[in-house]
Every structure is written in structure tokens, then in C-alpha cells.
Amino acid sequence: MARFRRKLPPLTGLTAFEAAARLSSFTKAASELGVTQAAVSRQIHLIEEGLGFPLFRRLHRRIELTDKGRALSSSTSAAFTLIAETIDDITREETADGLTISASVAFSHFWLLPKIASFSRACPGVALRIVSQDNNAALDSGDVDLAIRYGNGMWPDGRAELLFDDEVFPVCTPDYAEKLGEHPDLAELVRHPLISYDTEDPSWTGWDEWLAAFSMTLPKRISGMRCSFYTEAIYAALNGQGIVLGWRRLVQNLLDQKALVRVTGQSIATRNGYFVVAPPRSARNERVREFVAWLKAEAQGAVS
């Protein structure tokens, strides 16, 4: 260990080098570290003297990493990031047993929150914080421990595990279903108020796509409420405003309670699925592992 430590430049110098390399400026590095530009320059010069080769090219009014400088910059950046994440993890463990979960408003409201009591009973020492937002929370910010996302599973900020896919079909209240009669066809269906919702997600299924799967075209003029969010659309349907597309994993509780019923037998499978996404640092977090295990067990129960 002593032999290994002798190969390392002083930590002060490495800190100055990492900042200067990341910011491409001795002056900006000095400002970030709260020291003078001359101090940063001196620390980096000492490292270069010890190594026997330059890490930067000093150009007119700018600096540029050498090939060896880029190699060292990559290593120091990765090492400092790992140290920062580890300190963050162990500090969290010492100060709180909290776990922050991000999910869409609809998933939180209709799937996660109705089930969360069983996790709290199993792990009573874990304080949960649920962040509901339709834009994906950035996992590399350190503010979120886990995210539940709908998509294709390919996100650069974490490792994704599939929970389940979904299917989509029209639903309404039992009272409204009486207006449709038994076994209404799709031509009859589109003459009723169709509740829709705004979304910027191209993978989210709307009435146009759903009807197109059955060679139907949405009429140019339709009646029905348009909502900002899927949760609002579901509540509009629950209040008898018409027919909405139900995503089975989200509305299953409402179907079980007979608050909503399926309108037709037709349904389409979604192209994507729901995933739990964990950033690399969460692999060391026991609370995260417990929550993921619980989540996968609940998801398996939902599938079966």
C-alpha cells in the first residue's frame, strides 16, 4: 500500500488538475476551488514535474489536454465521481433511511400508491418519498434513488429491468356502459364522447392509433373531453363523462372494484413496457435492493 501511495501525486494537485481538465481553464478551476489562478497553475506544474511530461498544452488564451493528460483526466474524473457517490451513500445511511422513488403521475396514482403499504409493512424502517412527474427525473443528479419509467428500457443514466408490458382498451363506468348496450361495435363507439389527454410521449397510445389497429379512422369531429393528464382523463370517465382508453396495469384496481368496466373485447398490446431504472450507485444501497425485490414481486403478481 505504501508503494502504491508513492506513485500518486498529491491530492491537492489532482483536485486542481481534475477541475482544470473538466473546465478547460485554469482560471475557471481556480474560481471553482476558491484559490488563485497561480495556485492552480503551480499545483499542475508540480504534478507535471513529478510525472516527467506535460498534461496540458499552454496555447494563446487557452489550454488543451495532451494525450496523456486526457487519459489521466478520464481516470481522475471517474475516481472523484466514485468517491463522491460513496460519500453520498454512506452519509445518507448515517443520517436517514430514506428512499426517493420517481414515477409518472399516473403510475404513482393508480399502481404504486395503492400497493405501497405492503412495502412499508415489510420494511418499516425505510422512509419513502414518491416524486410524481411525467418528465423523467435525472438519475445522475443524486436526488432520486430509483425511477419507474415507461419506454423501451434504453436510458443512459441507469440499468433498466422490465416490470411488465401493457394492453390498452376502452373503459367507462357501469352506468355509462348501459347507454352503449351489449357488445357495441367500434362504429357505435366513436359516436359517443371519447375522452382524450395530452402527451408529448410518442409511444403513448391515443385514440387515433388505437382505432387504426382495427382499421378504423377517428372522425374529424368527435365529442368528448380533452384533458391535460391521463389521471384527469380517468377521473373524467369515473364521473360519467364518456369513454377513455384504459391501460390495464394502471386501471386494474378500478376494474376490480367495478368502478370502470371494459366497453369492448378489443385491445392492443403496447410497444413498450414499464421498467424500474437504477443508477449505478444504487447497486450498493441495501434499501434500493429491497424495494426493487418488492417491486418485481408485485409486478409478477400483477402479470399473473
What's the CA gap between 284 and 280, in Å, rounded?
Answer: 8
Annotated domain spans of the chain = 2-94, 96-164+273-303, 166-270
What's the CA gap between 44 and 143, in Å, rounded?
Answer: 33
pLDDT of residue 2: 46
Q: What is the CATH number assigned to the segment(s) 2-94?
A: 1.10.10.10
The C-alpha cell at 196 is 382524450
pLDDT of residue 302: 60
pLDDT of residue 4: 46
pLDDT of residue 197: 87
Q: How far is CA 296 from the centre of its chain?
A: 16
Give the CA angle between residues 141, 145, 148 to the nearest 5°. 105
Q: What CATH architecture applies to the domain 96-164+273-303?
A: 3-Layer(aba) Sandwich (3.40)
- The list of the chain residues with pLDDT below 70 reads 1-6, 88-97, 302-304
pLDDT of residue 303: 52
Same CATH fold, 166-270 and 96-164+273-303?
Answer: yes
pLDDT of residue 6: 55
Superfamily of domain 166-270: Periplasmic binding protein-like II (3.40.190.10)
